[in-house]
Amino acid sequence: MVASLVTAATAVSAAPNRAVFDHFEYTGNDARFTVAFDPAKQYLNPIVAGFWPDPSICRKGDDFYLVNSSFGYFPGVPIFHSRDLVNWTPLGHVLNRPSQLDLTGLRHSRGIYAPAIEYNPHNDTFYMITTSTDGVWNFLVKTKDPHSGVWSDPILLPEVFDIDPSMFFDDDGRAWIVHRTDPPLLRFPNHKQIVLREYDTERDCTIGPQIVLVEESLSWLPRPQYIEGPHIYKINGRYHLIAAEGGTWEQHAEVALTADNVRGPYKSNPVNPILTQRDLPEARPDKVTTTGHLDFIQDARGEWWGVFLACRPYEGDFYNTGRETFLLPVEWKDGYPVVLEKERAVPTVVNKNELYPGTGYPYLTGNFTWRDEFDAPRLDYEWMFIRTPRGEWWRQSGGKMTIDALPRSIYTLDNPAYLGRRQQHQVFEATTSLEFSPANSAQLAGMAYFQNERFCFVFGKTVVDGKVSVVLDRTENGVTKRIAVVPLPEREADVPLRMRISVDKGTGSFSFACPHHAGGTWHTVAEGVDVKNLSTHTAGGFVGATVGMYATCTSIPPLPEIVER
């Protein structure tokens, strides 16, 4: 039996097939973004919608730079540029070379955690420091010009343990790394410390002993959990430390401390937490939750702002869009920062001076239609790979995207032949056109709606019982069920197939059309499908859903693993 299976797998692998897509279109239509506002004086939250978590920000002169976590996707650490903190333009990715980021074999919610970007005026250099969880762990890269797209190879930081490092450059030119770590003695569940290490910018290494800044949790919760995501700032001669607490779910919040010396001791802000939504009623309009992981920036006018992550549930704690990037002004009261007073909801519309509407990338927030005709010289910024790509199994030319049907599965810890873009709306529609002629039931191509290797949908064209068919597979917690099969007439087996995924919050509809037959009428494969399996609440982990193009020539079953929360 084993020999037969190996022979069959070899036969499938020896006969590769190719899927050809001639466009991909994504349209988002959320009620939140239909609110009236003046883009010359106001902006909408989130400023970057969809799976763009753990924002960090820095400034050089009139230029602001923003980065986000990328976890198991490649390339890693998206980076943006702005002149007004609201209208952002992508500059590409900080980690855009395999030599910088190897995600081979990592679970999808591992990889790159919480990048922090800082500008050092003493040597005119930008630093991005982060954690490759389950990989090389903590490291930094640097560049003189973020617009160049070229950052150094990783500089490893073996003395920096755990996660969430960020950098601080003091007025005297000394550099510091602050991060979360485990204390030598756990005093309560999820007890963490915030610690400080000095960094030598000439030798690119840490120096001196580790200094404990925060030993006890500052949480207002009866059973405090985690303190993480720290940043240090020097403002009017005093040092301000902010950090997240409560875990990255509905208890998430931000706390602040101050000190007269960078080494401490740090005193807690009397109005902590300075940002949270946990104290608000469950039933509220335009609900936003999970606020935290804050980073401050001062603009040229002297005003302070904070970028932070938050979520937009469509029901209860269900959201498929992941953690998004929000922006709010920072107020100072008695020398302490406050972003939102207690029991204040995150506003959708915010007033701001000196906005430059129309200067940013139009596909980061609001309702829009994005379409890729595959006629550009290189892959569009939107597309992401699951883990570091092995080989070039995709080719873009002449208005076509060709993807090889590889013997790799989207259900494993491999690099499947999948190109995905972020889901940025609770309500969206994605369409494409596919040319694909499967020879057997292992060969499949079409679309995937993906959260991780154990929670996803595969909507494609394959062979079922000897007939070319359109199928829909739903995977939850590593168990896949084929919930729909539609055999195609022989005359339509090899013609181009239009495919459509429509999602309205927690419900999905999947349909196809053959443009050369039956007038191109859309045929429903399945409607009213529960897609809450792609919510972070169900799937665990830290990523949002993506939707894109997929091809395979293997029927490897999903990977059964423990849900990571």
In tens, the pLDDT along 418-440 reads 999 999 999 999 999 999 999 99
- 471 membership: H or E segment, kind and range: strand 467-476
The pTM of the full predicted model, rounded to 2 decimals, is: 0.94
Q: Residue type for 127, please? A: Y
Homologous superfamily (CATH) of 30-351 is Glycosyl hydrolase domain; family 43 (2.115.10.20)
Q: What are φ and ψ of residue 410, in 5° steps?
A: -70, -10
pLDDT at position 519: 65
Cα separation, 144 vs 155, in Å, equals: 16
Q: What angle do CA 327, 359, 51 make, to 5 degrees?
A: 45
Q: Dump pLDDT digits (tens) for 319-355.
A: 999 999 999 999 999 899 999 999 999 999 999 999 9
- Active site residue: 54, 84, 295, 404, which one? 54
Is 118 among the residues known to form the active site? no
In the prediction, which pLDDT does 533 show? 97
Please check whether residue 131 is in contact with residue 70, taking contact to mean a CB–CB distance below 8 angstroms.
Answer: no
pLDDT above 90 covers a percentage of the chain that reads 85
State residue 191's pLDDT score: 81
Q: What pLDDT sits at residue 15?
A: 39
| Residue 516's pLDDT band (cuts 50, 70, 90) | low
Structure tokens at 228: 């993480």
Active-site residue identified among 30, 118, 164, 228: 228
Mean pLDDT value of segment 282-308: 96
What letter represents residue 552's amino acid?
T
Specify whether domain 2-24+367-552 bears CATH 3.40.50.720.
no
| Residue at 297: amino acid letter | I
Q: Is 153 a catalytic residue?
A: no
Assess contact for 426 and 312: CB atoms under 8 A: yes
More reliable by pLDDT, 12 or 108: 108
Q: What is the mean pLDDT of the chain?
A: 92
> Which residue is listed with tokens 């490291």?
139
Q: Where in the chain is the domain with CATH 2.115.10.20?
A: 30-351
Q: What integer pLDDT is reported at residue 225 of this predicted model?
A: 63
Q: Is the model more confident about 456 or about 563?
A: 456
Dihedral sign computed on CA atoms, order 52, 56, 57, 58: negative
pLDDT band at 9 (very low <50, low <70, confident <90, very high): very low
d(CA 321, CA 431): 18
Handedness of CA 303, 309, 314, 315 (dihedral sign): negative
Helix, coil or strand: residue 337: strand
* Consecutive H or E run containing 10: helix 2-14
d(CA 32, CA 376): 32
Q: Residue 561: is its pLDDT beyond 70? A: no
Tallying the residues shown for the chain, one arrives at 565
The Cα–Cα gap between 180 and 163 comes to 6
pLDDT confidence tier of residue 246, bands split at 50, 70 and 90: confident
Is the pLDDT score of 13 beyond 90? no
Q: Radius of gyration of the chain from Cα atoms?
A: 24
Q: How high is the pLDDT of residue 348?
A: 97
Where does the chain hold its CATH 2.60.120.200 domain(s)?
2-24+367-552
